[in-house]
Amino acid sequence: MIYLFITILLLAIILPSIWVKITIKKYSKPIHSLPGTGGEFARHLVERFKIGDVVVEKGIEGQDHYSPFENIIRLSPSIFDGKSISAVSIAAHEVGHAIQYAHNESITKLRDRYTPIAMAVEKIAIGLVSICPLLVAIFKLPQLALISIAAGLIAMLISVLLQLIILPMEWGASFNKALPIIEEGQYLNHQQLPAARQILRAAAMTYVAGTLSSLLNVWRWLAILRR
C-alpha cells in the first residue's frame, strides 16, 4: 500500500512538468503567416503598453522569465526567434509579468518579499539534512540526526508553501494580462485561440511544476540518509 502511495505521489509531482513540456512543444511548429517572432511580439507589446525601459533579449532555452530587478524579459531562443502559437503565447505571458510590475500590483510585492525567503529556507533545509552524518559522528548522538532531518524536511516544505503563495501571479500573467491581448484577434486568429489558452495554462503551470519538483529534494535527501 505504501509503495502505491509513493508511486501516486511521484506521478503527481512529475506529470505536471511533463505535460507543460509536451503542450509547449506541440504548438511550437512554425506558422509563417504570423507577422513576427516571439521576440518581436514582446517588444511590440512593451512599446504598446508603455511599460518603461523594459528590454527584451534572447536567453537560455527553457528559462523564459521577466526579471524585475534588471527590467529584462528573457525568452528562449525557440521563443525569441520562433513564429508559432507557443512563441506568441509565452512572449505575451512574460510581458504580462512586466505589466504587473509596471502597475505595481500587490501580488508583485508578495513575490519580491517571499521568493528570497523561500530560496533561503530551502538552502537551510539542504544544509541541515546534509550535516546530519557529521553531527552524529562528532557527538555520537543518533538523536541529533533525527532532529536535523526533521528540521530540514520541515524547512523544505515551508519553502514549497511560500512559493505556492505567489502562484496567483503566474495565473494572472496568463489569463488577466496575456489572454485578453491575444483574444483581440490582432495576433492570432479565432481558430488558434484554444491552443493559445492551453499554452498560457502551461506557462502558468510551469511555476507549479517547478514548485512540485522541489519536493523531490525531500525524497533525494531521505534516500541518501538511508544508505
Evaluate whether 77 touches 93 at the Cβ level (below 8 Å): no
Residue 91: in which H helix or E strand, if any?
Answer: helix 85-102
d(CA 147, CA 168): 34
- List residues with catalytic annotation: 94
Task: Give strand ranges (E) for the chain.
Answer: 55-58, 65-67, 72-75
Grid cell, residue 2, equals: 505504501
User: CB neighbours of 188 closer than 8 A, spacing ≥ 6?
Assistant: 34, 85, 88, 182, 196
d(CA 53, CA 101): 12
**Which residues on neighbouring strands pair with residue 55, listed in sequence order?**
72
Grid cell, residue 207, equals: 511555476
Neighbouring C-beta atoms of residue 13, cutoff 10 Å: 17
d(CA 175, CA 28): 20
